[in-house]
A = this chain, B = another copy of it.
Amino acid sequence: MENKITKDWFVGFIEGEGNFHVGLSNTKNNPGYPFDTYPFLQFRIFLREDDEEVLQLIKEFLGFGNIYKKSLKYNRDRGFKAMDQCNFVVGNSKDLLKLKDILSDSCLFTKKKKDRKLFFKILDMKIEKKHLNEEGYREMLSLIGGLNSGERGNFKPGNNRKLYFAK
């Protein structure tokens, strides 16, 4: 029994737990950038804090990425089931390119396959500085809209929150 992560294990694990995320940060205080939002890419794995060890193993296996802790006290205070989290995050383009390379010869089987494809296409566009011109920026926004699409399309925050926080 080999006590080490293999690539296939890693791929299987991220099919369930990995998240290819492109956020849009507000650029109000960034007058040098021509658009309202600035796309930033993150590959993330969110686990409960009692599984931090596996994130350390993943970090060692990949050779990059960072681990952060996140308190979910806010949620607990509101009566929700929520243990603190530990998050593994790869955020810089150099490491994301390494991740792309590591995954390049791996087949994904879940709908994460589509997310991987979109995510690395957006990464390539950003590296090519397409987020700096109107046409490229619009195309990137459109691709971002298709990322993790089921989740976003299916989530109606207003509706949920009304129920969540009703007293």
Query: Which chain A residues have a beta carbon within 8 Å of chain B's beta carbons?
Result: 1-17, 47-48, 50-51, 53-54, 57, 78-83, 105-107, 109-111, 150-151, 154-156, 159-160, 162-167
Task: Report the nearest B residue to A7, measured CB to CB.
Answer: B8
B83 with A53: CB separation less than 8 A: no
User: Nearest CB to that of A76 among chain B residues?
Assistant: B154
A54 touches B164 (CB 8 A): no
Contact of A11 among B9, B54, B156, B163 (CB under 8 A): B9
10 A-B pairs with least C-beta separation: A12-B12, A16-B16, A8-B8, A9-B12, A12-B13, A166-B166, A16-B17, A79-B159, A8-B9, A54-B109
User: Of B2, B13, B51, B156, which contacts A13 at CB under 8 A?
Assistant: B13
Q: Which residues of B contact A47 (CB under 8 A)?
A: 110
Residues of B within 8 A of A105 (CB): 1
Q: In the bound complex, do residue A156 and residue B79 qualify as a contact, i.e. CB atoms below 8 Å apart? A: yes
With both chains docked as a complex, state the minimum distance between the C-beta of A27 and any C-beta of chain B, in angstroms: 29
Q: B residues within 8 A CB of A83? A: 150, 154
A106 → chain B, closest Cβ, in Å? 7
Residues in B whose Cβ lies below 8 Å from that of A17: 15-16
